[in-house]
Amino acid sequence: EVQLVESGGGLVQPGGSLRLSCAASGFIFNNHWMSWVRQAPGKGLESVANIKQDGNEKNYVDSVRGRFTISRDNAKNSLNLQMNSLRAEDTAVYYCAREMIYNSRSHHDSWGQGTLVTVSS
C-alpha cells in the first residue's frame, strides 16, 4: 500500500524558515516524480513544486521560486521542502503527492494527509 506521511509543519514568524518532510513507502520511490501541493484555509489547491526521479529537474510556482527548495533522498525514500523567507500568504496545509505519468503528462494518484504551516507573528 502506498503511504505518504508529511511532517515538519507548525507555527513560524514571518521571515522565518521551516523544513517539511514526506516519508514514502509501499512503492519504488525513485520511479516517480514527486510534488508538494498546498491549500490555504478555505481556498483551493495550488501546485507548489515538483521534482524529477533523479532530483535533477525541479519546478516551482512563481510565488515561491527563490524562497522554497524541493529536494529528495532516494536512499531514504523521502521528499523535502525547505521554506525560507516565509510570508503570511504561505499559510496552508501542505500535501506531499506522488505523480504518475499518463499520455506524457502527470496526475497525482496518491496523497499524504497533509501538514499545516502557519505563518504569523
3-state helix, strand, coil split of the chain in percent (to 5) is: 5, 55, 40
The rounded distance, in Å, linking the Cα atoms of 111 and 11 is 23
Nearer to another protein, 23 or 45 (CB): 45
The rounded distance, in Å, linking the Cα atoms of 118 and 121 is 10
- CB 63 → another protein: shortest distance, Å? 10
The stretch among 8-16, 18-26, 84-92, 95-103 that binds another protein (CB under 8 A) is: 95-103
Per CB under 8 A, contacts with another protein among 46-75 are: 46-47, 50, 59, 61-62
Nearer to another protein, 55 or 114 (CB): 114
Main-chain dihedrals φ then ψ at residue 77, nearest 5 degrees: 50, 50
105 counts as binding another protein under rule CB under 8 A: yes
